Amino acid sequence: MGELNRQCFLPTYERKVSKQLVDNENRFLGGLELIYGSWSYDNPKYGWTIEGDHYVVKVMADEPKDLEAKLKEIGRIKQAP
């Protein structure tokens, strides 16, 4: 799918997810939508970029503090690289 830059809101909390754990980007992004709600240009609830070997997710909600663990729990990323 490629990298999308979606950063346009404050305050934000930053969460990192290892790219090695993401075997299907659409599934990963679907997990973000399940956790944070639908994304739209009118109402962005989260944004993400790829920086090095991590997806960097910026969100308006403080929870979950461990996004990587939550995505593993709901089966949206691999348990181990």
Residues 9 and 58: their CA atoms lie apart, in Å, by: 9
Task: List per-residue pLDDT tens for the chain, 81 residues long.
Answer: 444 445 554 568 999 999 999 999 999 999 999 999 888 777 778 889 999 999 999 998 889 999 999 999 999 999 998
Which CA distances in Å does 43 have to 21, 38, 49, 53, 78? 28, 9, 18, 28, 29
Q: What is the distance between the alpha carbons of residues 43 and 65, in angstroms, rounded to a whole number?
A: 22
CB atoms near residue 5 (< 10 Å): 9
Residues shown for the chain: 81
Yes or no: say if 55 and 28 are a contact pair by the CB < 8 Å rule.
yes
pTM above 0.85, yes or no: no
